[in-house]
A and B are shown apart, each in its own frame.
Chain A
């Protein structure tokens, strides 16, 4: 899908599939190759992020149905594939109401912020060795900063709708998201400590080798605990069940998005679904080896795995983590808001600090890495 080469300074010829378009552009237009390649990468990013929610919403509905012993959408298109497009089209034809007394500029700005945050983090996900729109050296800190933008969007949405319940829902949701962002930050810092670098591409490349070199399996048990903490924190960041107190249907009317109708309502949930993909992508990058093929050590399977291009592995691992998110959603009941806060401040945060100290301790003891 995103078949282009971002970095014009490298002359890597080893990956013909990924570098195909980039090399072609560079031979045809040597002077403006950088601009054209950048334009191609931005356009393909836009295309990916536009098509992803359509597929992800369909996937969510089918997976949810299978967990509940039913079938899901079957009528619209083959096995319901066109269902989410039909829903999106319907929403476009609905009127967007602005409630009286609402702050117009902020009201219409609020859905843009989570969507921008999605595009911004998608831009640095390493889909393959050379399929990244950009690779800043402080990638981890960048990710942590951008996730604050989504929180801001929700708070603004609650404030701008002239509605008490929206405001309360947005405040509670904001409190939940900022609490779990600390856990998220500390888990990512653990990975930075283990890897010695904050660039996402380097973090993936530090997991080269066999499957046992992935960070989830290193540091006896600690990698797994860190992965689980990441899953819990990112589920709470995404406002997904079991932490979806802000968008639960029967609590506080509609939460922060009560006054939004039609497509601007859909934009919040588009941002949530694509953010789910982004969080899963980051989990795959940090813990599951990103775009590296799993080398098991068996003689005739390894070359077969290595031939499959990296972005296929990246998508497979990301969709595995997305399946885990959906599994969590359809198994656990919703947490009350005080149970949420208890979980974060009294369980996850001390555990995170202990995890950091243990990680440092293991590294100092000659690295059981």
Chain B
């Protein structure tokens, strides 16, 4: 637990660094006169038309879903990977190396098959 306590302090370092830089800038910077034009959103020097929170393509959502799936898969693979070397070298009692190996293959194969399915369905194309 010592490791994580120390790292916990590092979280604030980022805030101190950026917060400090921005505060120094706010104190030292020259303030141009306030006005309407100054705070308008930038659209290549034209008048902005409409609100900024527009609708965007559903492809973003699909890729986020796929990312979620494969990330959870990686997370499930993690404990397996950690003990893989020990089990393969017959150092762990109670887990047979062949069974672990075959299970790993089946798991990765199922996910591979899922990827091929998504590929053939055409969801992996961006446009």
Contact = CB atoms under 8 A, between A and B. Distances in A.
A5 to B, nearest CB: 13
Interface range for A: 35 or more
A186 B77 CA distance: 9
Interface string B7-19: 1011101110111
Contact of A196 (B11, B40, B86): B86
Contacts of B105: 357, 360
A315 interface: no
Contacts of B64: 175, 178
Interface residues of B, number: 71
B56 A41 contact: no
Interface stretch (A13-21, A24-32, A119-127): A119-127
A98 B40 CA distance: 9
B26 interface: yes
Q: Is the interface of A mostly helix, strand, loop or mixed?
A: helix
A196 B84 contact: yes
Contacts of B13: 42, 45-46, 49, 116, 119
Contacts of B78: 140-141, 189, 192, 198
B32 to A, nearest CB: 6
A340 B124 CA distance: 11
Interface string A326-338: 0000000000011
A167 B56 CA distance: 9
Contacts of A213: none
Given A42-B10, A116-B11, A192-B78, A337 B70 contact: no
B121 interface: no
Interface string B77-114: 11001111110110000000100010011001001100
Contacts of B81: 189-190, 192-193
A195 B85 contact: yes
Given A120-B11, A134-B3, A363-B85, A345 B38 contact: no
Given A45-B13, A346-B124, A353-B111, A100 B40 contact: yes
Interface string A83-115: 000000001111111111100000010011101
A341 B126 contact: yes
A287 to B, nearest CB: 17
A118 B10 CA distance: 9
Interface in B36-58: 38-44, 48, 50, 52-54, 56
A262 interface: yes
B89 to A, nearest CB: 8
A129 to B, nearest CB: 16
Contacts of B52: 101, 161-164, 166-167
Contacts of A115: 14-15, 17-18
A353 B108 contact: yes
Interface of A: 6, 38, 41-42, 45-46, 49-50, 91-101, 108, 111-113, 115-120, 122-124, 133-137, 140-141, 144, 159, 161-168, 171, 174-175, 178-179, 181-182, 185-186, 189-190, 192-198, 253-254, 258-259, 262-264, 266-267, 337-338, 340-342, 345-346, 349-350, 353, 356-357, 360, 363-364, 367
12 contacts: A93-B28, A94-B25, A99-B40, A116-B10, A124-B7, A178-B63, A196-B82, A253-B44, A259-B41, A264-B22, A350-B112, A353-B112
